[in-house]
Structures are given as C-alpha cells and as structure tokens.
Amino acid sequence: MYLANELDVNGRLLRGNVRMPDSGGPFPTIVFLHGFTVWKTGPQRLYEEFVRMAVKEGFCVVRYDFYGTGESEGEFYEMTIGSEMNETAAIFEWAAKQPYVDVNNMFLGGHSLGALLALVEAPHIQPKAAFGWSTALTMLFQAGQRTRTMRGPTERGWDIDGLELSREFMDECAGMDFLEMVKGYDKPVLLIHGTGDVDIPVESAYALKKVYGDNCELDIVEGANHRFLSLPWKKHAYEKTLEFLKKQLG
C-alpha cells in the first residue's frame, strides 16, 4: 500500500510517502532519512528499492523530502542541519501517531547526511534501534570539499551541483561536534560503510563505533563506495539492515 502525505513543520511544508503491506498491521516502522542534495527515492533508487524490500518483509516505511529538496516546498539554501534535525523529530512524531504504526517497534535510519541526522536525533527520539549507511560524520569536510570545486560564491553561499548551499549551513556545521551529539543513545545501532567511500572515509564509522561500544554493530563492505553503486553492495546493505531490524522486534 502506498500513501502520500504533506506535513507542516513550523510553517515549512514537507511532502512524503508511506509504504506498507496491503493487509494487517500495525506494522514495525522504519523512518528513513535521505542524504545530502538528494531526495527520498535516493541515487539510482537506492532508497526506493530498500523500501520495497522492507515492505515485503512486513515493515512500514515512512519517508519525507526535507525542506528545499525533492517535492517539498522551499529552496535548498534554506536548509541547515539544525532545520533537518527539527524536521526529523517532527516526522518521527507524526509517524508515531498513525494507526498503522506499531509504536513499540519504531526504527530510525538513513544514508549519508540522513544517517548522521538519525544518529544525532536518536538520543532525543529514542527509537527502538537506529542504523546508518555511509554516515556523514565528516559533513563539514564533505560540503567544503564540494564547494571548492563548484562555481561561486553565490548571493547566499555556493553553487553545489546546481543547488545553492548557504553560508549558514557551513557556519552551523563548523560549530557542531557530531561525536558528542550522538551520545546518550544506548540502544542497538548498525553502521554500514564501504572501504571505497571517498566522500566520507570509512574511519568515520570506526570513530562512531568507539562512541557506541558494544551497542553498535559495524559492518564494513569491502570496496563499496559512498552510494553503494553496485548490485552486490546495495543488496548487502539491504539484507544486513533488515536482518538487524528483525532481531530487534518484540
């Protein structure tokens, strides 16, 4: 079953969708967060294909485009990590109120910046478990590296792949200590990262593992790049994630 929805977050209109099995429920639910400069279907449908597999395994999946991306209202330059943290909390809160969602089995995860958002919000939201693919722990470095190769400066910041990234985003990011922000969550965490990730080095995953300790399962995919752009790589990420989440059901 497919449902489309609009969600107002402090005057910002987000558009998203829900996929779930056609019958039964309430269902264990995954709130999945998209990455930097992309939207809820993902690069090469990375997220969409995962969602469809998850639904076949009995999960409901909630996805929204953050403000200024995809189908949501707004402009990309209005996006900051802080604004997307607020939107993440609002999306999770909305999902918890839906009749088809099993509130005792709600999970939070994502890819790249979406993975980082999931992990920094987990201490506040307290999902049953959390997961991250290619977690963008070095977000400031990644954004800065890309802005140096793009045209700019622009009126508000930089031209980054045809989107305008704000100075506010960079300034805010520079003041955030993500390894500190993820602390306070002691439930199960799964991290999946490729050794071939040149955008966010695999060392980031090891740094996060040190923070989480025994609560964290670290899965290193040999050769995989940041977006898992290979059939075996993404299949591995999908299957490992669903295996991990099924273990948490109760």
Mean pLDDT per 10-residue interval, the chain, length 250 residues:
97 98 96 96 96 98 98 96 98 98 99 98 99 89 55 78 88 90 98 96 96 98 97 98 95
* Assigned fold of 2-140+182-248: Rossmann fold (3.40.50)
Strands 129-133 and 101-111, by their bridges, are: parallel
pLDDT score recorded for residue 151: 59
Q: Where are the domains of the chain?
A: 2-140+182-248
Cα 170 from Cα 195, distance rounded (Å)? 26
Q: What is the token pair recorded at 17?
A: 């969708």
C-alpha to C-alpha distance for 108 and 129, rounded to whole angstroms: 7
Q: Tell me what pLDDT residue 170 has.
A: 86
Q: What is the pLDDT of residue 159?
A: 82
Cite the beta strand spans of the chain per DSSP E. 2-9, 12-19, 27-33, 60-64, 101-111, 129-133, 157-160, 163-166, 189-194, 216-221
Pairing state between β 163-166 and 157-160: antiparallel
pTM equals 0.94
pLDDT at residue 138, rounded to an integer: 83
